[in-house]
Structure 1
Amino acid sequence: MRRLPLLVCLTLPLAVQAEQPAPEQPPAAAVEPIDSASADARGDLERRLAESEQQRQALAAQLAAQSADRDNRRDEAVIGRLRQENQRLKLQLREAQSQQPPRLLSEQQTWYVTGGGTALLAFALGALSRGSRRRQRREWIN
């Protein structure tokens, strides 16, 4: 029994929509004929529109060419400055490298010396941790 009011509420909007009349469309014969003066004016306006459209396209192309040329010149100037700075930095690097004294040890020799120092330190610590007392031979036999 409770479902009946729910179904009525759901179908009510559909019934209201079905009763609305469709909007009327004007008949095709209702369009007024165009007289010759307005046709001439329309033709003149279309011709002028085509001319102005061509002029707009030409100006747009010219503007694009100018902006591209301006961008190219700006990019070339930036590239030139960066090349000059790169040359200057390379020269500074060469000067700095020539002024440094040669290294005493190469990187491989440095690692070798570090490993040897570590081994000597481990040997010395092992000898010190053994203690001052010497073990005798019989202590080892047990």
Structure 2
Amino acid sequence: MTQNLQTLILTACLALPVVAWAQESTAPGDVDAGTTMASQETDLGTLQAELANVEAERQRLAQRLAGSADTQELERLREANRELQNRQIENDMQARASLEKQRQQWFMIGGGSVLVSLLVGFMLARSSKRKRNEWIN
């Protein structure tokens, strides 16, 4: 939408001087009507040719401007995409490291629980055998 508006404004600005030149006329008493008419037709033809050249140049510049703006915007979006992908990779690596650390902690807690349970079990079993031997004798 803004590109169409810019194109319209640019066309209007480029056409204004041409319209002003086309509307100018010579003073009536200076030159006879035939010469004035031929001169105006020549001027009109020259102005139309100049207008066509200016319009072609305007279109070329508008396309170049639109192409560069799109390219810049596309490059900016690609860079933002790369940054977001890098952040996601870093966050994934941090999450995996945290998960691995948590697993190791739970493994150590489980291993410690098993070791304490075995020691308590052996101690209780040993003390209970002594009491049984005493009762049996």
Return the TM-score normalized by structure 2: 0.47
Return the TM-score normalized by structure 1: 0.45
Q: Which has the larger radius of gyration?
A: 1
